[in-house]
Structure formats: structure tokens, C-alpha cells
Amino acid sequence: MQLLKGKKLLYIITLCGAMIVAQTYAQKEHKEEEPAPQNLKVLPKNTTGDEIHKIMRGYALSLGVRCGFCHERHETGDKPHMDFASDAKPEKDIARGMMHMVDSINHMLDDIGNNKLEHITCVSCHNGNTKPTVSVDSLIKKDHQ
């Protein structure tokens, strides 16, 4: 029994070590800094490319989409190019409006909750979908037995 516990512990330590090595390698792969953002209309103008990347990743996960949902994509050469500064897609303007809305709601929550209420984010309503849950009728139907 003791030998079995020792093997499990060794397996767990080895697995954790492999995960640390993989994470370190993945971080080195993303060694280039993100380019300076352009055409910022809601986020502060001094937001760095790396900060924008993190923020946009959160939005994408919250809506279950990829960059091309809001940003113009151009096929040039072997690989596509995302034109992040372009305002060509209406979804980008909708996203900006939603950012203002979330900020306003969070300020109201601070006012009524004495800064003690949890803030909302995109996922609060979108739950990984492009269309937010706006009514009880929008909820996924469950079989009640």
C-alpha cells in the first residue's frame, strides 16, 4: 500500500513538473510584444498591446468567438491578417457600446451597494454565446423529473 502511494506521489510530481515546463515554454513562444493599439475609442489610449490582448481574450471567451467576429480579416499571402484598427464590422461598434453599458452598470452597482457588490462582465449575460440571455425564455430548457 505504501509503495502504491509513493508511485502516485511520484506520478503527480512528474505531471506537475511537465506542466511547469510546458507553461514556461509557451510563455517563451509569446516573446514578442503586441503592437501598440490604434483607434482606441473606449479603452484608455495608453493601454498597451499586451493589455489589449488580455482584455480581448476575455471578451472572446465570454462570447465564445474569435477575433474575426469583431475585427476585419484580410487574406494576404500565406496567412490571414487581422486589421484591428478597422471599424468596418458593425460588431466592433456594438462591442464598444456594450463596454460603455457594462461600465455604467458597474458604477451603479458601486453606488447602490456601497462598493461591495460584485461587478458584472460580458460573461454575466453572454455565458459564452454571441447573444446574451435576456429573459427567462432565453434560458436553456431542462427536463424536470
72-116: per-residue pLDDT in tens? 999 887 888 899 999 999 999 999 999 999 999 999 999 999 999
Residues 14 and 58 reside in one and the same domain: no
Are the CB atoms for 70 and 61 separated by under 8 Å?
no
Residue 126 pLDDT = 94
Residue 14 pLDDT = 77
Residues 69 and 101 reside in one and the same domain: yes
Are the CB atoms for 132 and 126 separated by under 8 Å?
yes
Residue 21 pLDDT class (50, 70, 90 cuts): confident
Residues 79 and 62 reside in one and the same domain: yes
Residues 24 and 40 reside in one and the same domain: no
**34 vs 62, residue with greater confidence:** 62
Are the CB atoms for 127 and 61 separated by under 8 Å?
no
Domain span at residue 55 reads 35-133
| Dist CA 73 CA 31 (whole Å) | 23
Residues 17 and 81 reside in one and the same domain: no
**77 vs 127, residue with greater confidence:** 127
